[in-house]
Amino acid sequence: MLPTLNGRIQTRIFMLVVFGSAITFVLTPLLPGPFGFDGESYKVTYLILATVLVLGVLWELVYHLIQQFRWEKDWPTMFGLITAINEGALVWLFLDEGWIPGIDGENFPASVFWAFFIDFSVIWLIIWLWTNGPMRVPFIRWRFFGGRIV
């Protein structure tokens, strides 16, 4: 299967909304730093997840442009895992500079980086593993229609 741009965007949105939300709900109280079972912690982690979603859709457009220079118009599966580095760095920049509405990034303690790193890495790894493995079984149409969910 060669995922289309539309399919990659749909898959990204679906995976972050379904899996990302569930993982964030479970993981937020376990994160180091000022996080816990309070509403502010959940607000921050879900706003970060929303930022990953919005910036991720924009990243898909950039990836699509880059892929046009490759013969297969796609790239190896491992690149999907490695893109976590640039996407995570951009989201961290937005968080650290206070560019995420609703989050005051400039007053965060240093331990928030590790909370962000753990949260982002766990969500990215689980979604990457699920998308490149078990998702192909229950979503047979997803496999044959370029990664489209709808």
pLDDT computed for residue 96 by the predictor: 87
CB contact set of 5 (below 8 Å; sequence gap of 6+): 60, 61, 64
pLDDT computed for residue 143 by the predictor: 75
Point out the least confidently predicted range of 17-21, 76-80, 82-86, 137-141: 137-141
pTM, rounded to two decimals? 0.91
Radius of gyration of the chain (CA): 16
Residue 39 parent element (H or E): helix 39-67
Buried b (16+ CB within 10 A) or exposed e, 13-31: bbbbeebbeebbeebbeeb
CB contact set of 90 (below 8 Å; sequence gap of 6+): 55, 59
pLDDT computed for residue 62 by the predictor: 95
Residue 113 has pLDDT above 60, yes or no: yes
pLDDT computed for residue 106 by the predictor: 66
